[in-house]
């Protein structure tokens, strides 16, 4: 029996792996083997979490391809991990609602007295990565939302279009292979079947389905 490709799945800021259960169920239906990675975004630094993620990937009991999928801050974790570490069996990467270019609400919160406390240690450390820091021939796909419902728009001045937390412009990754915009909110991405289908499509083919 052929071993399935593994997909390491990361949740976003202030969440737990529970919120990615729907994605994991859809990945299993698509003949992938999901491996959830939980991390503490509030109490641990980005570097500490990234090192734990690298250990998690290397400890996987597989010689098959390992893909990476992250929601929001989870995508930032993946990018920083790939800038700091190398893996022999790395596959494709999908970032869903990830503020690669920085988050307007986070920037706004950092200027307040309690902002650093609310944001936690992981997100405030993000300074971005460059294409030269990434593994050669890395295939990255990004998904952005355009349903503008969420608390983020009350905290920072989000540029339209946005998903209520992250603007489409903030999800731009210069070295991404493909990008798709979908009519969902930031939280809705986690339970949207069309989003999970596009995520799986990219993992399977290296591109999104742009057909209407």
Q: CATH classification of 6-205, choosing from 3.40.50.1820, 3.20.20.140, 1.10.760.10, 3.30.70.260?
A: 3.40.50.1820
Q: How far apart are CA 209 and CA 212, in angstroms?
A: 9
Closest to 131 (Cα-Cα) out of 172, 88, 89, 179? 172
Residue 192 vs residues 87, 107, 163: alpha-carbon distances, Å:
30, 28, 13
Three-state secondary-structure class, residue 29: helix
Q: What is the pLDDT of residue 157?
A: 73
The pTM (predicted TM-score) of the whole model is 0.91
Closest to 130 (Cα-Cα) out of 179, 174, 94? 174
Structure confidence by residue, pLDDT tens digits, 43-89: 889 999 999 999 999 999 888 899 999 999 999 999 999 999 999 99
Averaged pLDDT for residues 82-102: 95
Q: What is the pLDDT of residue 106?
A: 67
Contacts with 59 (C-beta within 8 Å, 6 or more apart), sequence order = none
Structure confidence by residue, pLDDT tens digits, 106-165: 666 566 666 555 666 777 777 889 999 999 999 999 999 999 986 655 555 788 999 999
Contacts with 93 (C-beta within 8 Å, 6 or more apart), sequence order = 67, 68, 69, 70, 78, 82, 138, 139, 140, 141
Indicate the domain borders of the chain.
Answer: 6-205
């Amino acid at each position: 029996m052929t071993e399935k490709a593994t997909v390491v799945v990361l949740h976003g800021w202030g969440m737990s792996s529970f919120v990615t259960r729907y994605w994991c169920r859809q990945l299993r239906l698509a003949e992938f083997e999901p491996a959830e990675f939980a991390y503490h975004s509030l109490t641990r630094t980005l570097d500490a979490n990234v090192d734990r993620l690298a250990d998690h990937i290397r400890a996987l009991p597989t010689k098959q391809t390992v893909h990476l999928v992250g929601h929001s801050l989870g995508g930032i974790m993946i990018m920083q991990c790939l800038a700091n570490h190398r893996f022999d069996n790395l596959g494709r990467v999908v970032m869903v609602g990830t503020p690669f270019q920085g988050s307007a609400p986070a920037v706004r919160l950092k200027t307040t007295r309690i902002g650093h406390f609310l944001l936690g240690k992981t997100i405030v450390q993000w300074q971005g990565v460059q294409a030269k820091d990434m593994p050669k021939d890395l295939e990255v796909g990004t998904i952005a939302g355009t349903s503008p419902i969420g608390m983020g728009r009350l905290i920072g001045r989000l540029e339209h279009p946005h998903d209520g937390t992250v603007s489409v412009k903030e999800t731009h990754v210069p070295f991404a292979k493909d990008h798709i915009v979908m009519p969902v909110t930031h939280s809705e991405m986690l339970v949207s079947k069309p989003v999970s289908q596009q995520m799986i499509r990219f993992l399977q083919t290296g591109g999104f389905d742009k057909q209407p």
